[in-house]
Amino acid sequence: MPVLVMKFGGTSVATLDRIKRAAKRVSREVANGNDVIVVVSAMSGETNKLVGYVNETSPMFDAREYDAIVSSGENVTAGLMALTLQEMDIPARSWQGWQVPLKTSSAHGAARIDDIPTTNINDKFGEGMKVAVVAGFQGLSNEGRITTLGRGGSDTTAVAFAAAFDAIRCDIYTDVDGVYTTDPRITDKARKLEKVSFEEMLELASLGAKVLQTRSVELAMRFKVKLRVLSSFEEYDPNAGTLICAEEDIVENNAVSGVAASRDEAKMTLVSVADRPGIAAAIFGPLAEGGVNVDMIIQNISEEGRTDMTFSCPVDQVARAEAALAAAKERGDVNFEALVSDKNVAKISLVGIGMRSQSGVAAKMFKTLSDEGINIKVIATSEIKVSVLVDRKYTELAVQALHDAFELEKA
């Protein structure tokens, strides 16, 4: 039998009624002749509650016990889903991570998946089980301890199962009905995309689109797992949602597929740094060791052997960056006159695989922003992306203007 993977997020299983609604979708796929692997998240709000219990009990907690506690929410949902399906006369069984077993690294709280043996679940499919309900977000380390994959890890669990079982597709059910050209809360002209390439989705996810976890998209691209994002609250439609697939499966590539905005950005500038070989390594090495996620980087023209170095990072990592650079300066690894932080910026990005073959996207973007009186602070480009930093107060204006300029409301 072909295998289909269906993943239901926290809002899709937040109540018993919603679990029943999700179970009806599963039953439809069973009726279509599929063996189904259902991956479930904890009920909405449950993981946050469990994390709160941990922090209240032990602020300097043991990471192994943290994983044992916060992974329990998914176990409850998996059992409830299996019971609901059984009440519908569908042979179903719940599976916790250790029962599969989903083998992971020992990095508690941020484990990586090493292997998913298929024997146990396939044997049960052979015995007549039609649905395996798997608790997402969790696995088993070599030491035999429960691990978790990081917040949003159920998406990664689902894609990993789809790859391991050579599934025909992985359907991600959430509270949105697909991937849009931009955030519909910013402009009502945002249009749902029928198809998005893996590379575009990876960029959109990393730029702040909350539809999918970045790691899950990376995994899908690596193993060519077709993903479909769709809403668990819409009526059944076999063509619903957005398909995330290989570039060759998309007939026509527009220059720009979407506009992404991230408000949680900061711009940091090292003033008057010595312009010498190795200076970049001396700056960004300590930042990496300090766990700072550096994104955009720009170096000014050198004058009299000195230069300014600007980079962006998440706004909640500014203090960490300041501490890492202050320590590097104290050690004598790098010298600078001042470190200037600007926490009131936003990153606006255009994404599209069509940029590879169509010119003029960046120029049009810059002119559009200029016409709106929006000053660009930093620019970064890749093969399928152009990103700029602007004052945060212009976020909505910039997104709306670019969405209109590239006519993204049109199919």
Q: In what order do the strands lie in the sheet with 113-115?
A: 113-115, 103-104, 138-140, 146-148
Instruction: Answer yes or no: is 259 a known binding residue.
Output: no
Q: How far is CA 299 from the centre of its chain?
A: 29
**Phi, psi (degrees; rounded to nearest 5) at 389:** -100, 135
- Residue partners of 193: CB distance under 8 A and separation at least 6: 178, 179, 180, 181, 242, 257, 258
- Known binding residue 9? Answer is yes
CB 148 within 8 A of CB 74: no
Is 175 annotated as belonging to a binding site? yes
Helix-helix angle 72-87:16-31, to 10 degrees: 60
Q: Please state, in angstroms and rounded to a whole number, the distance separating the CA atoms of residues 93 and 136.
A: 14
- Is 74 part of any known ligand binding site? yes
Tokens 């300066």 sit on residue? 329
Distance CA 241, CA 232 (A): 10
7 marked ligand binding residue: yes
**Beta strand residue intervals within 189-337, DSSP E:** 195-197, 227-231, 242-245, 258-274, 297-299, 306-314
List, in order, residues 6 or more apart from 61 with CB less than 8 Å away: 54, 55
Q: According to the annotation, is 210 in a ligand binding site? A: yes
Residue 121: helix, strand or coil by DSSP? helix
Q: Answer yes or no: is 185 a known binding residue.
A: yes
What amino acid occupies position 295? Answer: D
State yes or no: 10 annotated in a binding site: yes
Does 278 appear as a known binding residue? no
Strand residue runs (E) in 120-252 = 131-135, 138-140, 146-148, 170-174, 195-197, 227-231, 242-245
Q: Annotated binding site for substrate: which residue ranges?
A: 47, 74
Per the annotation, binding residues for ATP are 7-10, 174-175, 180, 185, 210-211
Annotated binding site: 7-10, 47, 74, 174-175, 180, 185, 210-211
